[in-house]
Structure 1
Amino acid sequence: MKNCAYLSKLTIAGWAFLLLGWFGCRENTSPTGLQYVRLSGPTMGTAYHIQYGDAAGRDFQPSIDSLLAAINLEVSTYIDSSTISRFNQAKDTFDLGFGMREYSKHLTDRNRHFFKNYLFARVLHERTNGFFEPTIMPLVNYWGFGYTEKKPVEKIDSFEIAKRMHFVGFDKVKMVTQTGRDHLLLIKSNPNTQLDFSAIAKGYAVDEVGHLLESRGIKDYLVEIGGETTARGLNSRGQIWSIGINTPRPDADFEDFTQIVLLKDQAIATSGNYRQFYEKDGQKFSHIINPKTGFPEHSDLLSVSVVADDCMTADGYATSFFVMGKEQGFELAQRLENIEALFIYSQKDGTFGIRMTDNFGKMLKHN
């Protein structure tokens, strides 16, 4: 999957700010009568870029940085003391420290970010028939893309892969209520089972930053973290936000776009295998691992971009569709409500093929 506290799934979809122009930290009053504030900073092993319109031009960066730090402390596998790392280190039982009643009534913030990712991972795992697999971490580490030492596999050990496959499977993690206490427990059936939310965590963080801005009365904004992007309202020109989808080639510049999407009150995320990979003996190994085989996914599919109502959903389905492949992934994308997807694949003559769901084309900007 991805990471370096999260090496982006790709920095693909959104280097939107290269498309929109990224100059200074604030521009003059826009046609909408708002001051558009621009913020950027490091997070999750990549960077965030944010624009929002505010009549008073308020600076929310300290609050945003605090929120992102709190999310990292729960879902980053690169922080030994994070919630997810403590679960991964547990032998069998992990106490979430709250009960469902406390959580549902918003009576606690303890491990809230971790739990939201866990619950959505459950939903996505079921909807994709296990192609979205949050217990993939042992295999991600084996192939050199996880939180352990990052180095190419010198010689593929099929026995080691088969052994690690026994640690993988969301059915190996059960949620129960502790007897005598209203605490939720996560129980592992195998002590080597580990969680990895990196296929949804950046999208989740994008959504959470958006919620923070909305709580401050902001209606027009764009939030991007490592390519995962959500847009609401209008940009500083009073227009719908324009988001570029990167050309899926390793040598492509970040401003080399194959498509431009007009995004209004929606989110977009892209998954692909052409940025984060290594080659060994002429064979390419990408960071996206197929949980059904234990091996990096290898096909003619180059990237999948997904538009959804929220970024966490777009993020998770982009990875899932890519792992499922061009045919099976597209078939599911067509069936799902409020999901649109663009599949880019290589053809035998070296050109790109494009396949998109019914309404994706309506969002594309045509020159």
Structure 2
Amino acid sequence: MKAFFCAFAALFLILSACDNTSPDEYLAAHQLSGEAMGSYYRITYLGARLDGLEESVDSLLDAYNLELSPWVEESTISQFNDSQKGVSLAGTQHFQPNLELAAEVVERTGGAYDPTVAPLVNYWGFGTGEKRTSNNIDTVELNAIRQNVGYELVSVSGDSLVKQRPGVQLDLNASAKGYGVDLISDLLTERGRPNHLVDIGGEFRAGGTKNGRPWRVAIRLPEENVEAVSAAGTLPLEKGRALATSGNYLNHYEVDGETYSHTINPLTGYVERNALLSASVLAEDCATADAYATACMVLGPDKAMTLIEGLQDLEAYFLVRAENGDMEVRVTAGLREEMESEEL
């Protein structure tokens, strides 16, 4: 299956908390795994086994990719990016929700998140672009590319998605895995399995509980060039809650000693590397969490914390490089209260 390749997330391990429920009362747990969006998917659900679930999931993701994967030549987003003026959205199902989310996050982040960043993503050797072979930056070329970046250059007119400049392209990968997680979570609920945990490449959404207790996920330490996985802590996912993480430590490469990582600042045009090592955002849906996690990486720890603290129904868990080189944890006030109440 052709699928997205985007920023790999920082979360990996599905955990469950112990409770006092009798083993005889436990619902049976079933798992399903496969490939999705340039990564993996792992589904855990409680109750009787569902027949045909793998086929349903693959069909759902195939339909999504036909609209939003830049690696599928005939996809709607590929057609838009290759077009001079835009494309028709008639008959599409997944494009409009992603555009609406993008417009909201662009406005609330002051453009730190912007899906028209695609030309810059490709220029720096990510997305569908080729890795750089030289550290020499042509500022004239870069500034010309930046003229095609800005969400105001994209609009919906009737059933059409219109671009104001031929060079405008979209990259919705910042919310792609999260949106895919939401689709599968909704599918499981519709199929009568409300208690579940969906994981695509480290982006999670929890449905219901795991036998009366919240599903839990563990956070990976953001260490570049380290294959070993280490937990930096665990977080509970309450009913219907999602968590997405963005970090620079998995999707990066080096040229002559210079590190290029996948977080691109739409406002400057350059690769963004600041003290924020990873941003984990909790939201009511995974697409929203995914988009804001990307914006946080662009903003850096201080501005990102101010952003999330000011938004209702969002919480954040940041791993930050301190001035002395140590790693520190910063969490929003609401999440801190949740973590402290669990310890009581």
TM-score (norm: length of structure 2): 0.92
Distance 1:146 1:8 in 2: 7
Q: Does 1:287 align with 2:238?
A: no
In structure 2, list runs of 5 or more residues that go unmatched: 17-21
Secondary structure at the aligned position of 2:271 is classed as coil
Match of 1:16 in 2: 13
Q: Note closer, same or farther for the CA distance 1:79–1:288 as it changes in structure 2 (3 Å cut).
A: same
Q: Note closer, same or farther for the CA distance 1:76–1:152 as it changes in structure 2 (3 Å cut).
A: farther
Q: 1:39 aligns with which of 4, 12, 32?
A: 32
Instruction: Answer with 194-203 or 140-149: which moved more.
Output: 140-149
Match of 2:213 in 1: 239
Q: Which amino acid aligns with 2:81?
A: N
Q: 1:317 aligns with which of 292, 306, 310?
A: 292
8 Å CA contact 1:203–1:315 kept in 2: the answer is yes
Shift of 1:121: 0.8
Mapping of 1:65-214 within 5 angstroms?
A: 65-97=58-90, 110-177=91-158, 184-214=159-189
Match of 2:4 in 1: 6
Shift of 1:247: 0.6
Match of 2:328 in 1: 353
Q: Note closer, same or farther for the CA distance 1:250–1:32 as it changes in structure 2 (3 Å cut).
A: farther
Q: Note closer, same or farther for the CA distance 1:152–1:209 as it changes in structure 2 (3 Å cut).
A: farther
Q: Percent sequence identity over matched residues?
A: 39
8 Å CA contact 2:89–2:95 kept in 1: the answer is no
Distance 2:301 2:154 in 1: 30
Match of 1:103 in 2: none
Instruction: Answer with 150-159 or 204-213: which moved more.
Output: 150-159
8 Å CA contact 1:39–1:49 kept in 2: the answer is yes
Mapping of 1:265-284 within 5 angstroms?
A: 265=239, 266-284=241-259
Shift of 1:35: 2.3
Q: Does 1:328 align with 2:309?
A: no
Q: Note closer, same or farther for the CA distance 1:251–1:141 as it changes in structure 2 (3 Å cut).
A: closer
In structure 1, list runs of 5 or more residues that go unmatched: 21-28, 98-109, 178-183
Q: Note closer, same or farther for the CA distance 1:252–1:231 as it changes in structure 2 (3 Å cut).
A: farther
Distance 1:276 1:259 in 2: 22
8 Å CA contact 1:139–1:165 kept in 2: the answer is yes
Q: Which amino acid aligns with 2:109?
A: T
Q: Note closer, same or farther for the CA distance 1:359–1:152 as it changes in structure 2 (3 Å cut).
A: farther
Runs of 4+, deviation exceeding 6 Å: none
Distance 1:32 1:160 in 2: 64
Secondary structure at the aligned position of 1:268 is classed as strand
Instruction: Answer with 286-295 or 324-333: which moved more.
Output: 324-333
Instruction: Answer with 55-64 or 340-349: which moved more.
Output: 55-64
Q: Which amino acid aligns with 1:42?
A: E
Distance 2:23 2:192 in 1: 17
Q: Does 1:64 align with 2:60?
A: no
What count of residue pairs does the alignment treat as equivalent? 336
Q: Which amino acid aligns with 1:174?
A: S
Q: Which amino acid aligns with 1:160?
A: E
RMSD over aligned Cα, in angstroms? Answer: 2.1
Distance 2:3 2:332 in 1: 32
Distance 1:366 1:255 in 2: 25
Distance 2:24 2:287 in 1: 31
1:167-199 superposed Cα distances (whole Å, 9 cap, x missing partner): 10111112112xxxxxx2222110010011000
Q: Note closer, same or farther for the CA distance 1:60–1:169 as it changes in structure 2 (3 Å cut).
A: same
Distance 1:210 1:75 in 2: 19
Instruction: Answer with 197-206 or 51-60: which moved more.
Output: 51-60
